[in-house]
Amino acid sequence: MFSIGQHVIHPGQGVCTVVGFRDDTPQPMLLLETKQGHAQTILMYPVAQADRLHAAISQQDAEHLLSHYDELECDTFTERNSSLEETHFKQQLKLGAPETVRVAKTMMHRIRQAEEADKKPSSYYMRVLKEAKRRSIEEFAVALGVTEEAAEARLAQAALN
Q: How confident is the model at residue 38 (pLDDT cuts 50, 70, 90)?
A: low
Helix ranges restricted to H, 32-98: 59-67, 82-93
Domain spans of the chain? 7-55, 59-160
Q: How confident is the model at residue 39 (pLDDT cuts 50, 70, 90)?
A: confident
Q: Which CATH code, of 3.40.50, 1.25.40, 1.10.3470, 1.20.58, is assigned to 59-160?
A: 1.20.58
| Matching fold, domains 7-55 and 59-160 | no
- Round to whole Å and give the CA distance between 46 and 31: 9
| 60-86 pLDDT per residue, tens | 999 999 999 999 999 999 999 999 999
pLDDT computed for residue 79 by the predictor: 93
Higher pLDDT, 82 or 39: 82
Q: Which CATH code, of 2.40.10, 1.10.10, 1.10.357, 1.10.3470, is assigned to 7-55?
A: 2.40.10
| 43-60 pLDDT per residue, tens | 999 999 999 999 999 999
Residue 101 has pLDDT above 70, yes or no: yes
Q: What is the arithmetic mean of pLDDT over 29-44?
A: 85
pLDDT computed for residue 161 by the predictor: 77
* Contact residues for 93 (Cβ-Cβ < 8 A; gap 6+): 99, 100, 103, 128, 131, 132, 135
